[in-house]
């Protein structure tokens, strides 16, 4: 049977279909080539790492850019660079930008500069801290403070440890009159000047102990040598007893040599000799050694060095020949720049005709700061001048003058001696000044350990080294503003004594302090202002009613409320920590209303330093006696309510 013929139409259809397939295949191949080429070109045009966030994908001639740019400018640069490689109308921009509201927390910091009574505050603080609160705290640091306020605030979350760090910095600013303190939430830097190496050590110890936990403390406390002007040394032998009224040295080596010479002259016990700037000659120690050796040979008298002026004052009992010989040898042995002046008092006259009244001027300074002037001055002008000078030293309302204006043969230098004596009296807390033609006597009590040397320096500079001085100045530690600070135990005892008959009360079931508790908080605040370097815990307790977890939270809130109340009373709270103990440690029976009331209480306790375990204990450490509690088991100093 014959096969039918394939029509020409079918052949033409097959040819067209084949051509279409070939075209489609070619188009697909071309599109893939274009896609791969576009992606490769854009990957090369967007360099790493700036544009690592860009993802390039192609769909035919269209190219899509996706990803999240760190900012709008970077996104725009990515689109521009892509447009340089391919036609901009082929680019689809699907890139996003990082949410600008999710910024990193602000870096809060304050720089505090204090120089005398001038204080500058520069920095950024959280709005929640309160700019006014910081300024109020600074104003309370010193009277008549000149405050330069350059603080800014921002309404951002308060960083952890910020409040504790700021409170610590304000406390340090109060104690350091010349300082620069930089405070942030994680670090506090303190730069300050101390008056002596001893004070430097005290400041570093106090700041280190008071530093808040979680905050790094960087200290740079300098103790420059004081400038001593005039550079003074005064050494006396009276009734066989040697003593220093003032001692100055320019180097450690010089001090060692001077103290050795004093020991050789018979001085024993603890000796202080200030190392300072202002020595008139590098041979100062050599000159002093020579002078002390000469006085030792005399056995009585006083030698005074005031810069390069040396004065040798003998006594009435010394033989003139011996005195002249020793003085001549001393003058020859002193270094060239030093000049010597000698005085040998004459024995008192025994003629009865000379037994007239000895003129004198007397000034008394009471412990309350009141000054009384009496005695003789040459005329009304001198009396007014002396009274005005005393008022400038002690206060116009605290000076009473009963001095007489009558010449009566007073020495020419009488007003100079009186004024110098009043300046020296101003170094004491209380005492008596007696000025006579041949001697100036000053006796009293002071809280300054260096007052004796300062008095000798003042009188030597104003009157010369040949004046006979009788100084009896006693140092009383109780008057020393630093040494008189209460101990931690005394602070805790005083605070808890306030609560012996009264207690801090709260509204029922809340942490709101009642209005009636304000007086006791005022009394506690007065005590804590003198104890701000003492680390203490404010412990809150409740009774056993209610759930234990609820009581624990309530006691914590109440302890924190007390802490806030003290802060509002301008108590620096960097060393105070609030902690709630809930219904633990009851001091009375929770089964009675009276017992529950007693258990609802606030206690103040000293926070003991943790023992240092970084180094082994010394081999010479004495073990605790049998039955004696170790240090970490010491009883609490807080008293129960």
Share of the chain above pLDDT 70, in %: 84
Decide: 386 and 403 in contact? Cβ < 8 Å.
yes
Q: Can you tell me the distance from the alpha carbon of 318 to that of 297, in angstroms, rounded to the nearest whole number? A: 11
Average pLDDT rounded to a whole number, residues 301-318: 93
Mean pLDDT of 252-279: 92
The answer, yes or no, to whether residue 435 has pLDDT greater than 90, is yes
Question: Which of the four pLDDT bands, split at 50, 70 and 90, describes residue 82?
Answer: confident
Token pair, residue 389, equals: 């000078």
**Alpha-carbon 425 to chain mean position:** 30
The pLDDT, as a whole number, for residue 234 is: 94
Cα 507–512–516 angle (5° rounding)? 65
Handedness of CA 57, 59, 63, 69 (dihedral sign): negative
Q: Please give the mean pLDDT across all residues of the chain.
A: 83
Considering the domain 109-222 in this protein, what is its CATH number? Answer: 3.40.1520.20
Residue 628 makes CB contacts below 8 A (sequence gap 6+) with: none
Q: Strands 118-126 and 146-154, how do they pair?
A: parallel
- Out of 3.40.1520.20, 1.10.3210.50, 3.40.830.10, 3.40.50.880, which CATH number does the structure's domain 358-479 have? 3.40.1520.20
Exposure on the CB side of residue 96, measured as CA atoms within 13 A: 5
**And the tokens for 486?**
């209460």
Lowest-confidence segment of 94-103, 314-323, 609-618 by average pLDDT: 609-618
| CATH architecture, domain 13-97 | 2-Layer Sandwich (3.30)
Residue 347 pLDDT: 67
Q: At what angle do helices 284-298 and 320-333 cross, to 10 degrees?
A: 170
What average pLDDT score do residues 18-42 get?
64
Q: Which residues pair with 188 in a beta bridge?
A: 183, 217
CA distances from 566 to 162, 524, 559 (A): 18, 8, 11
* CA–CA gap between residue 563 and residue 572 (Å, rounded): 10
Query: Given a cut of 50, is residue 487 above it in pLDDT?
Result: yes
Q: What is the residue extent of each domain of the chain? A: 13-97, 109-222, 232-343, 358-479, 488-633
User: What per-residue confidence (pLDDT) applies to 434?
Assistant: 94
Contact 56, 42 (CB under 8 A): yes
Separation CA 70–CA 67 (nearest Å):
10
The reported pLDDT for the residue numbered 191 is 92
Give tens-digit pLDDT for 186-222.
999 999 988 777 778 888 888 888 888 889 999 998 8
- Confidence (pLDDT) at 634: 34
Which range has highest mean pLDDT (158-162, 211-215, 464-468, 608-612)?
158-162
pLDDT computed for residue 617 by the predictor: 41
**Among 3.30.1330.60, 2.60.120.380, 1.10.10.10, 3.40.50.2000, what is the CATH number of 488-633?**
3.30.1330.60
Tokens for 334, please give them.
Answer: 């002193």
Res 7: pLDDT: 64
pLDDT > 80? residue 367:
yes
**What does the pLDDT average to over 486-513?**
86
First to last CA, the chain: 128
Higher pLDDT, 31 or 258: 258
- Find tokens 């170790």 and name the residue: 630
How far apart CA 410 and CA 400 sit, in angstroms, is 22
pLDDT for the residue 233: 95
Cβ atoms 616, 545 nearer than 8 A: no
Candidates 3.40.50.720, 3.40.50.1360, 3.40.1520.20, 3.40.640.10; CATH matching 232-343: 3.40.1520.20
Q: Do domains 109-222 and 358-479 have the same CATH topology?
A: yes
Q: How many CB atoms lie within 10 A of CB 96?
A: 12
């Amino acid at each position: 049977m014959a096969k039918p013929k394939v029509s020409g139409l079918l052949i033409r259809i097959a040819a067209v279909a084949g051509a279409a397939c070939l075209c489609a295949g070619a188009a697909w191949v071309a599109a893939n080539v274009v896609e791969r080429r576009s992606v490769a070109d854009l990957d090369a045009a967007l360099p790493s790492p700036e544009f690592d966030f860009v993802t390039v994908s192609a769909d035919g001639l269209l190219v899509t850019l996706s990803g999240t740019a760190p900012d709008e400018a970077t996104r725009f640069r990515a689109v521009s660079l892509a447009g340089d490689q391919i036609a901009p109308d082929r680019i689809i921009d699907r890139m996003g930008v990082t949410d600008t509201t999710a910024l990193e927390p602000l870096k809060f910091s304050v720089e505090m500069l204090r120089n005398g009574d001038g204080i500058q505050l520069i920095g950024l603080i959280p709005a929640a801290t309160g700019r006014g609160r910081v300024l109020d705290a600074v104003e309370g640091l010193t009277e008549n403070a000149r405050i330069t306020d350059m603080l800014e605030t921002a309404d951002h979350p308060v960083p952890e440890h910020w409040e504790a760090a700021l409170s610590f910095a304000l406390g340090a600013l109060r104690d350091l009159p010349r300082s620069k303190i930089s405070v942030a939430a994680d670090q506090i830097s303190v730069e300050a000047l101390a008056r002596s190496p001893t004070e430097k050590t005290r400041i570093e110890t106090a700041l280190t102990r008071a530093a808040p936990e979680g905050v790094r403390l960087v200290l740079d406390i300098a103790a420059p040598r004081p400038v001593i002007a005039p550079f003074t040394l005064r050494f006396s032998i009276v009734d066989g007893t040697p003593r220093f009224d003032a001692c100055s040295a320019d180097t450690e080596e010089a001090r060692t040599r001077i103290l050795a010479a004093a020991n050789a002259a018979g001085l024993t016990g603890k000796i202080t000799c200030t190392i300072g700037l202002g020595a008139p000659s590098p041979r100062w120690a050599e000159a002093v050694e020579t002078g002390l050796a000469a006085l030792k040979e005399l056995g009585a008298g006083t030698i005074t060095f005031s810069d390069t002026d040396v004065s040798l004052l003998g006594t009435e009992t010394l033989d003139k020949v011996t005195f002249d010989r020793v003085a001549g040898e001393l003058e020859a042995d002193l270094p060239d720049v030093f000049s010597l002046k000698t005085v040998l008092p004459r024995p008192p006259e025994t003629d009865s005709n000379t037994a007239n009244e000895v003129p004198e001027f007397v000034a008394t300074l009471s412990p309350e700061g009141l000054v009384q002037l009496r005695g003789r001055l040459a005329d009304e002008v001198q009396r007014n001048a002396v009274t005005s000078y005393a008022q400038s030293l002690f206060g116009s309302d605290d000076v009473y003058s009963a001095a007489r204006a009558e010449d009566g043969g007073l020495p020419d230098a009488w007003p100079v001696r009186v004024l110098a004596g009043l300046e020296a009296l101003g170094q004491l807390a209380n005492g008596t000044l007696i000025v006579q033609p041949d001697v100036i006597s000053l006796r009293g009590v002071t809280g300054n350990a260096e007052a004796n040397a300062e008095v000798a320096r003042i009188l030597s500079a104003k009157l010369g080294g040949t004046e006979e001085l009788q100084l009896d100045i006693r140092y009383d530690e109780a008057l020393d503003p630093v040494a008189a600070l209460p101990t931690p135990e005394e602070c805790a005892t005083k605070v808890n004594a306030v609560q012996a008959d009264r207690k801090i009360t709260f509204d029922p079931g809340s942490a709101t302090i009642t209005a009636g508790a304000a007086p006791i908080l005022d009394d506690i605040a007065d005590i804590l202002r003198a104890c701000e370097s003492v680390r203490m815990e404010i412990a809150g307790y409740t009774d056993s009613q209610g759930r234990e977890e609820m009581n624990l939270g309530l006691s914590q809130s109440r302890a924190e409320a007390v802490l806030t109340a003290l802060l509002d009373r301008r108590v620096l709270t960097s060393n105070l920590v609030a902690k709630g103990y809930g219904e633990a440690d009851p001091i009375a029976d929770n089964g009675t209303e009276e017992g529950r009331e007693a258990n609802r209480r606030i206690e103040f306790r000293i926070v003991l330093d943790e023992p240092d375990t970084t180094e082994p204990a010394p081999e010479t450490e004495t073990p605790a006696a049998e039955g004696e509690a170790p240090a970490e088991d010491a009883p609490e100093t807080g008293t129960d309510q």
